[in-house]
C-alpha cells in the first residue's frame, strides 16, 4: 500500500492517501485477504461489520468502540495493546485483520496476517480512527 501511494520513504499513510488510493489496487488487496482467510479477514469484511453497527464516514465513538469489540481489538471495554492482538487465522474474531497501527500521531501502516509493526506496540488515537473510518467508508469495497 505504501508503494502504490508513493509513501515508502515516509513509511506511513495519511487519511488523504487512503481517500485517493486506486480502487483496483484496494479491491485486489481486499480480494486476496478475503480469499486466503476463507472470508474471515479483509477490508470489505470489516466494512460490513462497521456498517452493521451503524458506522458511517462520520466518526461515531459508540459505533467504532462496538466495532473494536466485535473484531477483537477491545476486550473488557479497553483497547488491546499490539502485543495482545492475534495475527493468526486461528483467531475466532471475524474482521480482526487487517489492523492499522498508530504511533506518535501518525498512522504507521496496515498490518496484515503475518505482518508486524517495527515498534511492537500501538497507541489508539484519532488518526487511526480517521484512517479506518475513511477506509471503511470507501464505496469500492
Predicted local distance difference test score (pLDDT) of residue 130: 67
Tell me the backbone φ, ψ of residue 99, rounded to 5 degrees: -130, 135
Does residue 52 register a pLDDT over 60? yes
Q: What does the pLDDT average to over 114-126?
A: 38
Please identify which residue in the block is written with the cell numbers 520513504.
Answer: 9
Distance between CA 60 and CA 115 in Å, rounded?
28
pLDDT confidence tier of residue 88, bands split at 50, 70 and 90 = confident
Predicted local distance difference test score (pLDDT) of residue 57: 83
Distance between CA 63 and CA 61 in Å, rounded?
6
**CB–CB of 97/41 below 8 Å?**
yes
Does residue 105 register a pLDDT over 80? no
pLDDT confidence tier of residue 45, bands split at 50, 70 and 90 = very high
Does residue 55 register a pLDDT over 50? yes
Does residue 17 register a pLDDT over 50? yes
Distance between CA 127 and CA 137 in Å, rounded?
15
**CB–CB of 66/53 below 8 Å?**
yes
Q: Is 86 exposed, middle or buried, given 0-12, 13-18 or 19+ CB atoms closer than 10 A? A: middle
**Farthest-apart Cα atoms in the chain, separation:** 38
Does residue 56 register a pLDDT over 60? yes
Does residue 83 register a pLDDT over 60? yes
Q: What does the pLDDT average to over 52-61?
A: 86
Amino acid at each position: 500500500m505504501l508503494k502504490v501511494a508513493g509513501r515508502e520513504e515516509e513509511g506511513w499513510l495519511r487519511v488523504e492517501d487512503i481517500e485517493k488510493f486506486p480502487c483496483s489496487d484496494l479491491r485486489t488487496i481486499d480480494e486476496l485477504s478475503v480469499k486466503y482467510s476463507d472470508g474471515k479477514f479483509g477490508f470489505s469484511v470489516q466494512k460490513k461489520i462497521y456498517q452493521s453497527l451503524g458506522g458511517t464516514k462520520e466518526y461515531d465513538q459508540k459505533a467504532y468502540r462496538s466495532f473494536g469489540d466485535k473484531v477483537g481489538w477491545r476486550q473488557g471495554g479497553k483497547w488491546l495493546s499490539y502485543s495482545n492482538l492475534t495475527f493468526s487465522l486461528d483467531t475466532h474474531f471475524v474482521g480482526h485483520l487487517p489492523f492499522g497501527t498508530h504511533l506518535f500521531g501518525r498512522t504507521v501502516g496496515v498490518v496484515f496476517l503475518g505482518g508486524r509493526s517495527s515498534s511492537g506496540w500501538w497507541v489508539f488515537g484519532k488518526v487511526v480512527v480517521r484512517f479506518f473510518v475513511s477506509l471503511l467508508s470507501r464505496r469500492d469495497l
